[in-house]
Structure 1
Amino acid sequence: MSEPLSQQYREILVGLGENPEREGLLDTPKRAAKAMQYLCHGYQQSLEEIVNGALFESDNDEMVIVKDIELYSLCEHHLLPFIGKAHVAYIPTGKVLGLSKVARIVDMFARRLQIQENLTKQIADAVQSVTNAAGVAVVIEAKHMCMMMRGVEKQNSVMSSSVMLGAFRESYNTRHEFLQLIGRNN
């Protein structure tokens, strides 16, 4: 755990008018620093580490979808959480990606300070670069605490973002099938 980070959390407590020496706050700077390091551990990961060679030969050329991948990230503007789910699809061209690797790719990018729009694109670009797929689609739906806990305080708002690459961008039918399979196109 980073001692400088812990000290900075102590200074935040002082800045808020709190007494970091009171019983309930004695270990808070250390706990907060450890929590923030965990929430941002995506910075210590690389795509190569995450995939770890888990690409497998396959003659399947039909859509592969992993949906409802829960994600937890921190808004880079307010350092407040946004929480939601990602739906990721790709059309293989000779190789398929190990199933857990899709979720790990989502986590790696989500565990960095982010905005949802960039997170969506980073996931799509990563899946594309690893699989060389004919197309990649990513939809993320998330609730943002920066909008729920402060500011306009809209409790039921959900942000949706999508990135469509290759066949998902070029073909209405492919895009429509994906959206229908994830329950977003009635």
Structure 2
Amino acid sequence: MDSQRVESAVRELLLAIGEDPDRDELVSTPRRVAEAYSEFFSGVGVDASHLLSETFPLEPDVGAHAPQPVLVRGISFRSVCEHHLLPFLGTAHIAYVPSNRLIGLGRLPAIVDIIASRPQLQERLGEQIAQTIADGLDARGVLVVLEASHGCVTMRGARQTASSTVTIAARGSLAEPAARAEILMLIGAIPLPSTTSSTR
């Protein structure tokens, strides 16, 4: 990323909205925005599939049963909507059915982070995550469920502050209705650990 160009563009934007970029409160804003953008868009030009280069063999089942799905729920992510350059925040749930290789569970959030760190659409984000896992692991099936709250919906226009968007991307065996329904049930059936506590 060209930080100097970002800083110049932010300064020009402040001038365009009628602000004074040289006032004390704004003088460091172009630099701060450039630093933030270096995080928000760190996935531009990065191939997330390299995270799948290290895998582990799936031991053959003596009972000759088909491999069962691996499900990781509650992966937090943030991205930036490419239509308005406003953030969207959400949770990803990822399931895959391995063929003969497994991936370290920590690699799944890392894949989400790389692909989300670009100007994005939620619908495309889910599809790209699913395709990366399907291709990189030669997985029998992949299911990616994303739920996110979009700044372009909550903070402007209709200002639907309580709304969220859910998208589903499926590949292979997990695109079949029965298998997909089972994973969706598992995503919702087991309560996620609470991050807040209440006192009386």
Question: Which bin holds the TM-score, normalised by the shorter protein?
Answer: over 0.9
Question: What's the offset of the Cα at 1:48?
Answer: 4.0
Aligned to 1:169: 175
| Counterpart for residue 54 of structure 1 | 54
Give distance in 2, aligned partners of 1:143 and 1:135.
Answer: 27
CA contact (8 A) 1:54 1:101 kept: no
Counterpart of 1:183?
188
Structure 2 partner of 1:13: 14
1:150 aligns with 2:151: no
* Residue 115 (1) aligns with residue 121 (2): yes
Aligned residue number for residue 81 of structure 1: 87
Alignment of 1:21-36 (within 5 A): 21-36=22-37
Residues of 1 paired with 2:46 and 2:73: CA distance?
23
What amino acid is aligned across from residue 55 of structure 1 in structure 2? T
**Residue 38 of structure 2 corresponds to which residue in structure 1?**
37
- In 2, the alpha carbon distance for the partners of 1:148 and 1:67 equals 25
Mapped to 1, the partners of 2:46 and 2:130 lie a distance apart of 17
Identity of aligned residues (%): 38
Question: Aligned pair 1:138/2:144, yes or no?
Answer: yes
C-alpha displacement of 1:44: 4.4
Q: Normalized against structure 1, the TM-score is what?
A: 0.93
Deviation of 1:37 (Å): 1.7
Could you say if the C-alpha distance between residues 48 and 161 of structure 1 is closer, same or farther in structure 2, counting changes exceeding 3 Å? closer
Q: Relative to total residues, which structure has the larger helix share, 1 or 2?
A: 1
Gap runs ≥5 in structure 1: none
Give the TM-score normalised by the residue count of structure 2.
0.87
Name the SS of the counterpart of 1:178 in structure 2: helix
Shift of 1:50: 2.8
Q: Offset of 1:54 from its aligned partner?
A: 2.2
Aligned residues: 182
Compute the RMSD of aligned alpha carbons: 1.3
SS in 1 for 2:128: helix
Contact 1:87-1:140 within 8 A present in 2 as well: yes
Larger radius of gyration: 2
